[in-house]
Amino acid sequence: MQSGDNEKTDREVREILDYYKELPERGSQEVIVSMLRELQDVCGWIGPSVLEEAAQTAGVKESLIEIIMKRYPSLKKSPYVHEITVCTGQNCASRDNLKLLQELRQRLKIGGDGISQDGRIYMKTRACLKQCRTTPNIMVDGKIYSGKSVKEIVSMVTGPDTYI
């Protein structure tokens, strides 16, 4: 990003924060979510410094902002490029999806926050992807796949010649 782009982004972030700071209900969940969405639209994601400033603006603890962000999956804590959702429903779990989940976490170096070390991949679980007749299922970037191997999934998000 060029210096002019950084200045523009910083100015837009400041305008958003200044606007929300003046609202009487600035600490309500609804207002915080609106503020976070606007900040993400400008920055692309909610990094640690923006998260801290948002908490100060809302007059709440950072931990509350983090809880809200967990409740709204569209709010990103990392500039990830790919999103993987592993089905952990009863049918998929019985067909080795839990083993697949552990192996993917290891191969893609996914941390406890669900984000890979390089910040490019976000992985989460969902109790059911509502595709039980084709188990086991996994969703990569919004598209559901059935019966894929770890190698196939890794190549989808890292490139065909990369098997970590």
Last residue of a domain, one of 71, 90, 120: 71
For 88-125, what is each residue's pLDDT tens digit?
999 888 888 889 999 999 999 998 888 898 888 999 99
Question: Are 56 and 86 within one domain?
Answer: no
Which residue among 26, 44, 71 closes a domain? 71
Whether the upstream peptide bond of residue 136 has omega within 30° of 0, thus cis, is yes
Do residues 60 and 89 both lie within one domain? no
- Domain hosting 145: range is 82-158
> What pairing do the DSSP bridges indicate for beta strands 137-140 and 143-146?
antiparallel
Q: Are 100 and 152 part of one and the same domain?
A: yes
Are the C-beta atoms of 121 and 157 separated by less than 8 Å?
yes
pLDDT digits (tens, 9 = 90+) for 50-62: 999 999 999 999 9
Backbone angle region of 109, left / alpha / beta, with phi > 0 → left and psi within -120 to 50 → alpha: left
* pTM of the predicted model as reported, rounded to 2 decimal places: 0.66
